Structure 1
Amino acid sequence: MSAETSLIPVMDLLGGQVVRGVRGDRQAYRPIVSALCGSSDPATVARILCAHCATRRLYVADLDALMGGPAQFAVLHRLIEALPGLELWLDAGFADAAAAQALMTRLGSFAAAHVVPVYGSESLTSREALAQAFDRRDALGARAVLSLDRRDGQPMDPAGCWQAPELWPQRIIVMTLERVGSNAGPDLETLQAVRLRAAAGTQLIGAGGVRHPEDLLHAHDAGAEAWLVASALHDGQLPPAARPNP
């Protein structure tokens, strides 16, 4: 890992457009207005974000699905066709492994190799679903990521994921929703608390609050392998990457 935590650019998709996430208030999200992108078209924004961050990895939150609607299959399909080298980390409100597998099947052969399902603690329905989602005997489970979600100091966690570190996978996102789009700085305290409970070698990815390169240096010191970022990129607060992220 470098002396600075690497970036994973983020796209929030709502109604077929890229929107700006602010503090997790999804009903109020509006199409992105960006210093980088003159468009809210997903494929256009994805290309620009990945080029700016010198990465092929992109995190996508399907907000339609996260709010209880159907996944934006057509939008996702167009996105992966437009960027065939993409590694797509996808949170589409998966309640369990069967829900993730159903969407991967619809997305076709590309998904089998390039889509990484992200299971959010706000969406998983039970401890059994948590365990099955990260069954390493299954190819999908072996590459899946867990997002430990919290808002206003409280876990978003009907399945009790925060209290089951023995079931955590090798890669964990620590998502503090009230910091998203807030320009308030990253929640390093929560990330460090998760680090103390996670197994040795667990890769931690933070989410929310990054404002500038100095925040990424502090995130590295706190143990973050990478950080999910959107607003700071669109607001021109993070310069172009000089080399590809790991």
Structure 2
Amino acid sequence: MKIIPVIDLKDSVVVHARQGNRELYQPINTGLCKSSDIFQVIDAFLGIYEFDTFYIADLNAITGQGGHNPLIADVLTRFPHITFWIDQGCQPYAQRAHGNTLPVLGSESYRDESIAEIKAYKNNFILSLDYANSKALGAPSLFADPSFWPENIIIMTLERVGSNRGPDLNKLTEFCRKNPDKNFIAAGGIRHKQDLMALSEAGIHQALVASALHSGIIKAEDINILGKVSAPSSRPNPRDVVNPNIA
């Protein structure tokens, strides 16, 4: 099981995501990190464990209220040996300026008339299938037509983010059962090591985590133990999906 720390960026600071209510998100101030500065938050996560992958949600870009391209570029430059999954909503394909990044395309930002743009990525991205209150968000075709799916897919349950409700194990298990050739990634509600072990038993081998790291409930020793529960070798690590032609 691989844990990927989550960073939610809003108005240039890291915020605490809660149940998808983005207008209410407040700057991070936790036992792990009192500062909402992204560099200090990353350093705090790295103080727990030597994570090699992070997920950044650019909430301004996702909601069509600007974005954080210069700040994210600084992050990519300062941490060249870490791979950053960057979610900026509907992203027209463009050659990436940094080799240590991989785009996340979230279903909530697409409509059926715009999803053809996804084909330009040639599967060199991570798809996020977004849900809120059991409702699929965005283009229905992204949920119904697996031909749009890359190898690695986040199942994002927004109402469980920061809720301490646990992951949507039933939904994740069903995705694994119906699509055994895909690598599904859990997002939303993960509380502790036991949740992660349950996900691993269901066939999930990667998870996006924020609150349980900030609270200290998931500790370095837990991550070391969970790291020994590895994904099947036939499933590629999303780090390896990065286009080798990108410099």
Q: TM-score range by the shorter chain?
A: 0.7 to 0.9
State the Cα distance separating 1:242 from its structure 2 match: 3.3
Q: CA deviation at 1:128?
A: 5.9
Aligned equivalents of 2:150, 2:25: Cα separation in 1? 31
Among candidates 194, 211, 216, match of residue 214 of structure 1: 194
Residue in structure 2 matched with residue 45 of structure 1 by the alignment: 41
Asked whether the equivalents of residues 197 and 226 of structure 2 are also in contact (C-alpha less than 8 Å), the reply is no
Match among 111, 120, 123 for residue 125 of structure 1? 111
TM-score between both structures, scaled by the size of structure 2: 0.85
Identify which of 213, 218, 224 aligns with 1:233.
213
**2:82 aligned to 78, 82, 86, which one?**
86
The answer to whether residue 53 in structure 2 is matched with residue 67 in structure 1 is: no
Q: Using a 3 Å threshold, how does the CA distance of structure 1 residues 197 and 132 change in structure 2: closer, same or farther?
A: farther
TM-score normalised by the chain length of structure 1: 0.85
Tell me the number of residue pairs that the alignment of Structure 1 and Structure 2 aligns.
Answer: 226
- In the alignment, structure 2 segments of 5+ residues that lack a partner are 231-247
Looking at structure 1, the residues matched to 71 and 87 of structure 2 have their Cα atoms a distance apart, in angstroms, of 14
Contact 1:87 1:115 in 2 (8 A): yes
Q: What is the deviation of 1:154?
A: 0.5
Deviations 1:62-108 (A, max 9, x none): 000111122211211121122111201010012x5x2x42xx55xx2
How far apart are the structure 1 equivalents of 2:195 and 2:113? 34
Q: Which residue of 2 aligns with 1:168?
A: 149
Residue identity opposite 2:72 in structure 1: L
Residue in structure 2 matching 1:146, options 127, 143, 149: 127
Secondary structure at the aligned position of 2:205 is classed as strand
**2-side partners of 1:134 and 1:192: how far apart?**
27
Counterpart-to-counterpart distance in 1, 2:49 and 2:141: 34
Identity across aligned pairs (percent)?
34
Structure 1 residue 159 displacement after superposition: 4.5
